[in-house]
């Protein structure tokens, strides 16, 4: 290792160890929070931080990009191995998830929509593929790379690539710790659709003249109320036909302001175990790493001998 | 060497402080969760109490011979409002739930009432509220259970003792509410 480079790594390591130490306490706090909140039923949940367990149900047809699996949620990463000298590292060249698309969580008391945007996902990898000798890219991955304009073949053959995908299939059991809140998006959409209809009505002279109940050449309050009621009725009928009532309710689970939001396809016990390990490794591992590298730095600069 | 020992001691002290702060905060969270869970039951009870006078007024016109059943519901509703402790409340709520069950069972004997749309809607609404209340009571009991376990666990026990945290009362169903509903039908002779 070149002169000074090891010192740089060691200083970075000390910093990383201190960060891990404090991060471990953050994870410990989250773990204790999960343990503190009992699991609600969909029917009995109240506004605020809630914990739910149930089956994932799709609201829209989703297909995971790498394996083309029908799912309610997906996440993927594509990495390329870049070597520099003797060492090398995996560099992310593409990643994405379906956190923009809500899914439903169903337990034996009802169904609620979950908007996974901003959630921390605790999931085991469902699919992993690394290119190598004799391992050619499957068609689905070739399609993905080509459709996204990503290079997978160089002058000397295929690049070293690593693909990872996580997904939640319909009817998989999911664990959600998030904030139950009023579905303002749905109300906003409804209001917007209604106002655009009324705007159309104003533009369209023929139906508007039918609302001139007094036949005085203008639309009175009674006529306008009738128009609003009629437009709202028409809109509701369309929303019911498009399964609006089935897919959305007035309460959703999403990320609250500064609140924890976890989505997992593991059980609560497994999530707690995973957090316990992270906290343990962060706190003890971080402290140990910092102390070991601090000792190395002292030794390296000859300060060790003086004390 | 002494720098390493000092650094290790700093980690140890910070770690211990952070750990006990997280234990303390955790205890406060579980304690407040109980209060919140109880208040969330109250929200639904209020909604149900608001529905009961409407239900009685719909039934009154049809169930002239069931004065006693309707009066029992009114009395049970009043005692629910006046209940102060978890025990009193659980008993009063049990009586009210029992009286409502009796009312719905007796209503089967009045086809005109069963055909009344207002009654059907109110019955559905009250039954749904009953289910929601039952779910929230279970949630309340889970919250109390977590708290009661936590204050007896090590190391939380030491902090809980310092804070003089006492075990909380679970919501229990009264013995009489576990009995079958007593229904008397007044068939016309």
Cα B140 to its chain centre, rounded Å, is 7
Q: Between A85 and B33, name the one with better pLDDT.
A: B33
Residue of A283, A294, A307 lying closest to B2 (CB–CB): A307
CB contacts of A50 in chain B (<8 Å) are none
Spatial CB neighbours of B76, under 8 Å, sequence gap ≥ 6 = B92, B95, B96, B98, B99
Q: What is the pLDDT of residue B111?
A: 77
pLDDT band at A166 (very low <50, low <70, confident <90, very high): very high
CB contacts of B8 in chain A (<8 Å) are 287, 291
Residue B186 is assigned to a structural domain of this protein? no
CB–CB of B135 and A48 under 8 A?
Answer: no
pLDDT in tens, B4-39: 888 888 889 998 898 888 889 889 999 999 999 988
Spatial CB neighbours of B27, under 8 Å, sequence gap ≥ 6 = B150, B151, B156, B159, B160, B163, B165
CB–CB of B146 and A43 under 8 A?
Answer: no
pLDDT in tens, B129-188: 888 888 898 899 999 999 999 999 888 888 888 888 888 888 876 665 555 555 454 544
Query: Burial of A281 by CB count in 10 Å (0-12 exposed, 13-18 middle, 19+ buried)?
Result: middle
Q: Does B87 touch chain A (CB under 8 A)?
A: no
Residue of A25, A44, A298 lying closest to B18 (CB–CB): A25
Spatial CB neighbours of B25, under 8 Å, sequence gap ≥ 6 = A29, A32
Distance from CA of B27 to the nearest CA of A (A): 9
- In the predicted model, what is the mean pLDDT of chain A? 81
pLDDT in tens, A250-303: 889 988 887 889 999 988 889 999 999 999 999 999 999 999 988 888 888 777
Residue of A44, A290, A303 lying closest to B135 (CB–CB): A44
| Position B189 pLDDT exceeds 50 | no
Distance from CA of B66 to the nearest CA of A (A): 32
Residue B36 is assigned to a structural domain of this protein? yes
pLDDT band at A21 (very low <50, low <70, confident <90, very high): very high
Q: What is the pLDDT of residue A215?
A: 63
pLDDT band at A306 (very low <50, low <70, confident <90, very high): low
As a whole number, mean pLDDT of residues B62-80 equals 76
pLDDT in tens, A34-72: 988 999 999 888 888 899 999 998 888 888 889 989 999
CB–CB of A287 and B25 under 8 A?
Answer: no
pLDDT band at A246 (very low <50, low <70, confident <90, very high): very low
pLDDT band at A16 (very low <50, low <70, confident <90, very high): very high
Residue B33 is assigned to a structural domain of this protein? yes
CB contacts of B43 in chain A (<8 Å) are 46
| pTM (2 d.p.) | 0.73
Q: Does B46 touch chain A (CB under 8 A)?
A: no
Whole-angstrom distance, CA of residue A66 vs CA of residue A284: 37
- Rounded to two decimals, the ipTM of the complex is 0.74
Residue of B1, B18, B33 lying closest to A36 (CB–CB): B33
Distance from CA of B164 to the nearest CA of A (A): 19
Residue reference for tokens 């009066």: B71
Give me the residues paired with residue B149 across strands: none
Q: Between A147 and B67, name the one with better pLDDT.
A: A147
Q: Does B3 touch chain A (CB under 8 A)?
A: yes
Least confident interval from A89-93, A158-162, B175-179: B175-179
Residue B188 is assigned to a structural domain of this protein? no
Looking at residue B50, which CATH number applies to its domain? 1.20.1440.20
| Position A17 pLDDT exceeds 90 | yes
Q: What is the pLDDT of residue A185?
A: 62
Residue B184 is assigned to a structural domain of this protein? no
Number of domains in chain B: 1
pLDDT band at B53 (very low <50, low <70, confident <90, very high): confident
Distance from CA of B184 to the nearest CA of A (A): 32
Q: What is the pLDDT of residue B147?
A: 92
pLDDT band at A307 (very low <50, low <70, confident <90, very high): low
Q: Does B124 touch chain A (CB under 8 A)?
A: no
Spatial CB neighbours of A40, under 8 Å, sequence gap ≥ 6 = A46, A50, A51, A52, B135, B139
Q: Does B85 touch chain A (CB under 8 A)?
A: no
Q: Does A210 touch chain B (CB under 8 A)?
A: no
Q: Does A15 touch chain B (CB under 8 A)?
A: no
Least confident interval from A18-32, A234-248, B62-76: A234-248
pLDDT in tens, B87-126: 777 778 778 878 888 878 877 777 777 777 777 888 888 8
pLDDT in tens, A185-238: 655 666 667 777 777 766 665 555 666 666 666 666 666 767 776 776 666 656
Q: Residues 97..126 of A with a Cβ closer than 8 Å to B: which?
A: 109
Instruction: Give one DSSP letter per residue of B130-189, joined into a string.
Output: HHHHHHHHHHHHHHHHHHHHHTTSTTHHHHHHHTT--PPPP----GGGGSPP--------
Q: What percent of chain A has pLDDT over 70?
A: 78
Q: What is the pLDDT of residue A278?
A: 92
pLDDT in tens, A136-154: 788 888 888 888 888 777 7
Residue B67 is assigned to a structural domain of this protein? yes
Residue of A32, A40, A48 lying closest to B22 (CB–CB): A32
Least confident interval from A20-24, B17-21, B75-79: B75-79
Q: Taking the alpha carbons of A192, A194, A195, A201 in that order, is the dihedral positive or negative?
A: positive
Distance from CA of B30 to the nearest CA of A (A): 6
- Domain residues for the domain of B123 are 2-178
For testing contact with chain A, the best of B132, B134, B147 (most A CBs within 10 A): B132
Q: Between A169 and B78, name the one with better pLDDT.
A: A169
CB–CB of B11 and A303 under 8 A?
Answer: no
């Amino acid at each position: 290792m070149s002169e000074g480079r090891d010192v740089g790594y060691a200083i970075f390591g000390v910093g990383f160890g201190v960060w891990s130490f404090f991060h471990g306490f953050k994870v410990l706090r989250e773990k204790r929070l999960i343990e503190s909140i009992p699991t609600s039923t969909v029917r009995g949940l109240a506004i605020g931080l809630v914990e739910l367990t149930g089956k994932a149900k799709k609201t829209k047809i989703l297909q995971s990009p790498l394996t083309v699996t029908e799912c309610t949620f997906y996440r993927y990463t594509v990495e390329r191995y870049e070597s520099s000298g003797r060492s090398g590292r995996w560099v992310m060249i593409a990643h994405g998830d379906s956190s923009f698309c809500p899914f439903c969580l169903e337990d034996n008391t009802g169904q609620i929509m979950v908007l996974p945007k901003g959630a921390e996902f605790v999931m085991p990898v469902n699919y992993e593929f690394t290119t190598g000798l004799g391992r050619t890219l499957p068609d689905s991955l070739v399609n993905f790379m080509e459709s996204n304009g990503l290079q997978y073949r160089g002058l000397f053959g295929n690049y070293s690539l690593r693909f990872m995908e996580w997904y939640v299939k319909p009817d998989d059991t999911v664990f959600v710790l998030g904030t139950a809140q009023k579905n303002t998006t749905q109300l906003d959409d409804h209001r917007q659709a209604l106002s655009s209809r009324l705007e159309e009505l104003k533009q369209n002279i023929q139906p508007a003249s039918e609302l001139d109940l007094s036949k005085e050449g203008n639309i009175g309050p009674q006529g306008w109320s009738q128009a609003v009621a009629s437009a709202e009725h028409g809109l509701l009928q369309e929303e019911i036909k498009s399964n609006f009532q089935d897919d959305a309710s007035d309460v959703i689970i999403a990320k609250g302001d500064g609140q924890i939001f976890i989505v997992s396809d593991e059980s609560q016990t497994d999530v707690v175990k995973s957090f316990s390990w992270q906290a343990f490794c962060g706190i003890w591992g971080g402290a140990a790493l910092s102390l070991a590298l601090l000792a190395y730095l002292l030794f390296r600069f000859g300060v060790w001998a003086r004390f | 060497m002494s720098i390493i020992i000092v650094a290790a001691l700093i980690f140890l002290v910070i770690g211990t402080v952070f750990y006990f702060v997280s234990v303390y905060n955790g205890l406060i969270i579980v304690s407040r969760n109980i209060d919140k869970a109880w208040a969330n039951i109250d929200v639904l009870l209020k909604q149900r109490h608001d529905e009961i006078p409407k239900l009685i007024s719909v039934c009154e016109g049809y169930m002239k011979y069931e004065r006693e059943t309707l009066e029992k519901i009114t009395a049970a509703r009043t005692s629910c409002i006046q209940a102060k402790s978890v025990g009193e409340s659980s008993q009063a709520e049990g009586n009210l739930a029992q009286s409502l069950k009796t009312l719905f069972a007796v209503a089967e004997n009045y086809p005109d009432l069963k055909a009344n749309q207002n009654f059907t809607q109110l019955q559905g609404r009250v039954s749904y509220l009953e289910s929601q209340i039952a779910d929230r009571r279970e949630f309340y009991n889970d919250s109390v259970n977590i708290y009661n376990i936590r204050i007896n666990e090590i190391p939380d026990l030491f902090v809980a003792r310092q804070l003089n945290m006492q075990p909380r009362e679970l919501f229990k169903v009264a013995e009489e509410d576990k009995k079958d509903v007593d229904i008397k039908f007044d068939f016309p002779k």
